[in-house]
Amino acid sequence: MDLFRLPRKKHSLGRIDGEGVYLRPARDVDFESWRILRSNSRSFLKPWEPTWPPDDLTRTAFQRRLSRQDRERSEDQSYGFLVFQSSDDALLGGATLGNVRRGVAQCATLGYWMGERHAGKGFMGKAVRALLRQAFLEMRLHRVEAACAPENERSRRLLERLGFQREGFARAYLLIDGAWQDHLLFAMLERDFLQDGQEAPGAGGRP
């Protein structure tokens, strides 16, 4: 028996509300705001992301993203979201719980990006906290992993501030910006999340 391929319970994970922000799956109507934000943030994001395909900011490529998003959700493999500001619905960035492993692992990998003009304002921390509540309380995950390049101080500080624990260093871990790059490895366990009280009523948790 493959212990990582036990039956999966599907989760809708539609809109997720956080403190001053909300997350929801991307829709076709998001294309233009997504394209503008990504285009204006290209030099800011480029050092931390895989190489962008030549057609990355086209509507055709965005449609492929939507199709992949819907397929991976239906198969309980990955849950991608766009992040918006609650007050005016402005698109801020994106976050993903990907590489979902069930069976004996009950684990997923956290990824995120923020538009340059919105960075450093606390939005992503609030969005990830809301997403972690869903990961541990709705999806019943045991562990959420994350990684960042050693020189990505902004991302490292975000993970540490949220309560992720540094667990290791992986050489040539991910192909980023056209090169295999080392990464710091972080993780948060369900018990870490519960001990921190982040699921308390009023913070979006269970009553």
pLDDT, the chain, mean: 91
Indicate whether 185 pLDDT > 60: yes
Token pair 């204006």 is found at 40
Model confidence over 75-102: pLDDT tens digits? 999 999 999 999 999 999 999 999 999 9
Model confidence over 124-162: pLDDT tens digits? 999 999 999 999 999 999 999 999 999 999 999 999 999
For residue 88, give every residue at least 6 positions away whose Cβ sits within 8 Å of its Cβ, in sequence order, or none: none
Across 94-116, average pLDDT: 97
Please tell us whether the domain made up of 16-144 is placed in CATH 3.40.630.30: yes
Q: Say how far residue 43 (Cα) sits from the centre of its chain.
A: 20
Give the helix ranges, DSSP H, for the chain.
Answer: 31-40, 42-45, 59-74, 123-133, 153-162, 190-195
Distance CA 45, CA 108 (A): 23
Q: Report residue 165 as tokens.
A: 């624990």
Lowest pLDDT segment from 9-13, 83-87, 109-113, 150-154? 9-13
Indicate whether 201 pLDDT > 90: no
Distance CA 103, CA 82 (A): 28
Angle, helices 31-40 vs 59-74, to 10°: value is 110
Q: Is 24 helix (H, G, I), strand (E, B) or coil?
A: strand
Q: Provide the pLDDT confidence category of residue 11 given band limits of 50, 70 and 90.
A: low
Distance CA 152, CA 16 (A): 27
Which pLDDT score is estimated for 19? 96
pTM for the full predicted model: 0.88
SS (H, E, C) 65-117: HHHHHHHHHHCCCCEEEEEEECCCCCEEEEEEEEEEECCCCCEEEEEEEECHH
For residue 42, give every residue at least 6 positions away whose Cβ sits within 8 Å of its Cβ, in sequence order, or none: 52
Which pLDDT score is estimated for 199? 56
